[in-house]
Chains A and B, each alone.
Chain A
Amino acid sequence: MATATATPRRAIESGVPDNKQYMHPTLLKNYGNWKYHDRPRPGVLHHVSYSGEEVWSVRAGTQRQMDVHTIRKLCDIADKYAEGHVRFTIRSNIEFMVADEKKVAPLIEALTTAGFPVGGTGNSVTMISHTQGWLHCDIPGTDASGAVKALMDDLHQEFIKEEMPNRVHMSTSCCEINCGGQADIAIIIQHTKPPKINHDLVANVCERPAVVARCPVAAIRPALVNGKPSLEVDEKKCICCGACYPPCPPMQINDPEFSKFAVWIGGKNSNARGKPTFMKMVASGIPNNPPRWPEVSEIVKKILYVYKDDARPWERMSDWVERIGWPRFFEKTELPFTKYLIDDWRGSRSSLNASAHIRF
């Protein structure tokens, strides 16, 4: 019986668990000995080992934020059709491995029937990596799970097929901190007005020097407001990044009306062909319109389908734009190129065209 005086349990600082105890036996047996793979159909990877052994992996999309009942449903499928082993991908897809090709079709059938789309391999639009949003973060301008659900409903066909020129990775982030990361298409909420300061609270809640130090453009200064120590923002300087909000919540940056979406494209982590690239901002001022965010979907789909039609095989979004050039990107996608898309931050000259390279 636990009593109030009992010593609390000390944690076992076990660190990162050993994955070998959970790994599918065929993966374990051929660890480090794989020879090649192919993709018999979208959503299925077929790996062949130097030993001659083979494994089929079936990939399905999930809602990432899963209730235990969904997890158990996936476990039931794994037990019945997939030898009891699964793994997750970085984009919250789930993979079931089977060592017998005959098990692939029934597994796909079971997943599809249970509502888990099979796909996300090769040249498809994979599940959108996303952040927390209203469900759990303390600074979100929008929701992430909901925006992703709405968008993946629209892109479902592109998930279950492999019809893109190359793979398309997407991310969404519910503030400019962009926990969602770089992507071929990234959707990020953007604040467009400086923080609204509740001067009554600043002195009690915020460590003022820390907040001043956080601002990337030195727009914040200590100030005395109504006789109380507070902070003030030089609104002409402020770039509305929101960095002052986490250490000082009375500097409210989110605004139901003026927090808008921006869309970025051409981020690539892989070193394949070109070096990795950062994503670039191509649209802004898009309304934050729950529960299904139709305006964002419209723009994302426009970009995606122009890319699908126009890019050559193996061109990632960034490779494609490198070939056709930015003017034509804006022409083809019918997105307005405004002055706000010209970088004026540190190192900005490297993004200007220092050549006579012009396409007509």
Chain B
Amino acid sequence: MAKKMHPTPMLDKLETGPWPSFVTGLKRLAKDNDMMVDLLGQLETSYETKKGYWKGGTISIFGYGGGIIPRFTELKDESGKPKFPDAAEFHTLRVMPPPGMHYNTDILRKLADTWERHGSGLIAFHGQSGDIMFQGARSDKVQDAFDEINALGFDLGGAGPAVRTSMSCVGAARCEQSCYDEATAHRTVLNNFTDDIHRPSLPYKFKFKFSGCPNDCMNSIQRSDMAVIGTWRDNIRTDEKLARAYFAKHGVTDLVNDVVSRCPTKAIQLVDASKIPTGPSISAVKVSDTQAIAIENRDCVRCMHCINVITGGLSPGKDKGATILVGGKRTLKIGDLMGTVVVPFMKLETDEDREKLVDLGRRIVDFFAENALEHERIGETIERIGLVNFVEGVGIEIDANMVATPRTNPYVRADGWDDEVAKIKAKKQAA
């Protein structure tokens, strides 16, 4: 039987309304868990005073340096004693999820049982970096909790200046847009970095994220240091039955307004069914007996829009792979950065292909470790030293797809121009 509840008039107001309430969950836990009684007390105090009361510290499990987020209360009385002693320690274990976040009920129940025994009983599915966050363990329980979670086949994720937990989209498991096996790529890459996940020793965090197509459901472009985004390089595939089904339902107005005119590069045209253009880079499909759409694939930027609208009627091509971008991050310290294309296309079908991805990741992380300033993300390093120094440093070939436009300012020494031209020519001849 748990101790008496503290009054929580403010939190109580979060128990009304149609959305599931975490407060109701906390209160349910508090029925047989003193830690939750006091956690509610501290949280209510935060609601009253509009102040947070946690401070960090250092706690890790045996053999690892990161993955636990320690929290100690700062809400103390005059004599320095915690006002809510049973929640004075409230640490989080960051645990890496399976790719695509698939579970069966057996494993979820086992994870829940473990956390009820050793922690607060509060779990976030999932944190913003993808971790299962087991929130609220006392210092002396962290190791036991981890041991059980670890025995169930799960491992700690990253925290601090380390390779961080990754995420991949549902992709091949249930999405027709998937352009590579995200889960296998995710596991292959991350499991080659376990040491850098568990023992923080980089200048700052480094995140990989895997999205199966340019819809980028994992937000990889803005939220990861190395984004692996599925794409294809041959022609968009078509299926007349499904294209006709779309048209039958929507008609020509929607086709023009929602598809043809929304193509960012005007690669799509509406054509007369008797005048369908042909050619090696044309995808065309009849939507009715009289009308068809035709796509010039050399003009297509693989934005996904038309494919999203006419799902199945249009689909990614067959020659699939991924585009790799580096340097996405939010705000601190130079402002937001999107990832920049460093490899326009990479095949990701075989183990050998994936080894090349791991190798690229390794070269980038090593470059980061050696060249970034303390607390600098790789995107900031690139901004500081220039993209060319970065790609040459990691051994990636220059490609016109790396830029939105060539430079506009003249402040450059171009005395190596002829040598570069000669090199490029020689390479072309050798190919």
* B50 contacts A290, C-beta separation under 8 Å: yes
Q: Are B333 and A243 closer than 8 Å at their CB atoms?
A: yes
| Contact present for B16 and A271 (CB under 8 Å) | no
Interface residue from A9, A34, A75, A274 paired with B174 (Cβ < 8 Å): A34
B17 closest partner in A (C-beta): A153
User: Provided the pairs A249-B55, A291-B14 are in contact, do residues A16 and B71 lie with their beta carbons within 8 angstroms?
Assistant: no
For residue B219, which residues in chain A have a CB less than 8 angstroms away from its CB? 90, 181-182, 269
Task: Give which listed residue, A19, A78, A90, A178, contacts B218 with CB less than 8 A.
Answer: A90
Residues A60-88 near B (CB distance < 8 A) = 61-72, 74-75, 78-79, 84-88
A69 to B351, CA, bound (A): 41
> Which single member of B22, B28, B108, B262 contacts A314 (CB below 8 Å)?
B262
**CB within 8 Å for A88 and B174 given contacts A38-B311, A291-B47:** no
Give min CB distance, A255 to chain B, whole Å: 8
Residue B283 lies at the interface, judged by CB distance under 8 Å to chain A: no
Q: Mark A102-145, 1 if CB is under 8 A from B, else 0.
A: 00000000000001110000000000011101111111111101
A1 in contact (CB, < 8 A):
no
Query: In chain A, what residue has the closest Cβ to B338?
Result: A276
Using Cβ atoms and an 8 Å threshold, which residues of chain B touch A79? 105
Q: In this complex, what residue of A is CB-closest to B308?
A: A272
Count of A-B contacts judged by CB separation below 8 Å: 368
Contact of A276 among B23, B176, B222 (CB under 8 A): B222
Question: Which residue of the partner chain B has the closest CB to A182?
Answer: B222
Are A87 and B103 in contact, with the CB atoms below 8 A? yes
* Contacts A138-B52, A214-B333, A273-B305 given; does A23 touch B102 at CB 8 Å: yes
CB-contact partner of B47 in A134, A267, A345, under 8 A: A134
Smallest beta-carbon distance A10→chain B, Å: 6
1/0 per position for A15-40, CB-CB distance to B under 8 A? 11111111110011001101111100
B-side interface size class: 35 or more
Flag if A216 contacts B333 (CB, 8 Å): yes
Say which residue of B112, B170, B312, B336 sits within 8 Å of A278 (CB atoms).
Answer: B336
Query: How far in angstroms is the closest Cβ of chain A from B320?
Result: 10
Say if the beta carbon of B387 comes within 8 Å of chain A.
Answer: no
Contacts of A139 in B (CB 8 A): 52
CA A288 to CA B133, docked complex, whole Å: 26
CB distance from B142 to the nearest CB of A (A): 12
Do residues A16 and B96 form an inter-chain contact, with CB atoms below 8 A?
Answer: yes
Among B99, B123, B223, B312, the residue within 8 A (CB) of A71 is B123
Query: Are A146 and B183 interface neighbours, CB within 8 A?
Result: no
Q: Chain B contacts of A269 at CB under 8 A?
A: 216, 219-223
Q: Chain A's interface: helix, strand, loop or mixed, by majority?
A: loop
Q: Are A11 and B155 CB-contacts (below 8 A) given A149-B19, A256-B50, A276-B222? A: yes
Q: Which segment, of B59-67, B78-86, B284-292, B392-400, faces chain A?
A: B59-67
How many Å from the CB of B162 to the closest CB on chain A?
14
The CA-CA distance from A97 to B220 in the complex, in Å, is 25
- Decide yes or no whether B7 CB sits under 8 A from chain A: no
Q: A92-B126, A136-B54, A136-B92 are in contact. Are A69 and B178 (CB under 8 A)?
A: no
A145 touches B96 (CB 8 A): no
Tell whether A52 is near chain B: CB-to-CB under 8 Å: no
Task: Decide yes or no: A274 and B264 within 8 Å by CB, A10-B62, A11-B62 being known contacts.
Answer: yes
B52 in contact with A137 (CB, 8 Å) = yes
Per CB-CB distance, the 10 closest pairs between chain A and chain B, nearest first, are A36-B312, A153-B17, A67-B25, A19-B98, A134-B46, A271-B214, A256-B50, A15-B191, A152-B19, A8-B62
Could you list 4 further interchain pairs (A-B, Cβ under 8 angstroms) beyond the known A37-B175, A65-B25, A85-B105? A15-B197, A68-B121, A149-B17, A149-B19
A-B contact pairs, 18 of them (CB 8 A): A32-B181, A36-B239, A37-B312, A63-B21, A67-B121, A69-B25, A72-B112, A88-B103, A90-B219, A145-B22, A146-B11, A213-B375, A243-B332, A270-B217, A271-B304, A291-B11, A313-B254, A314-B262
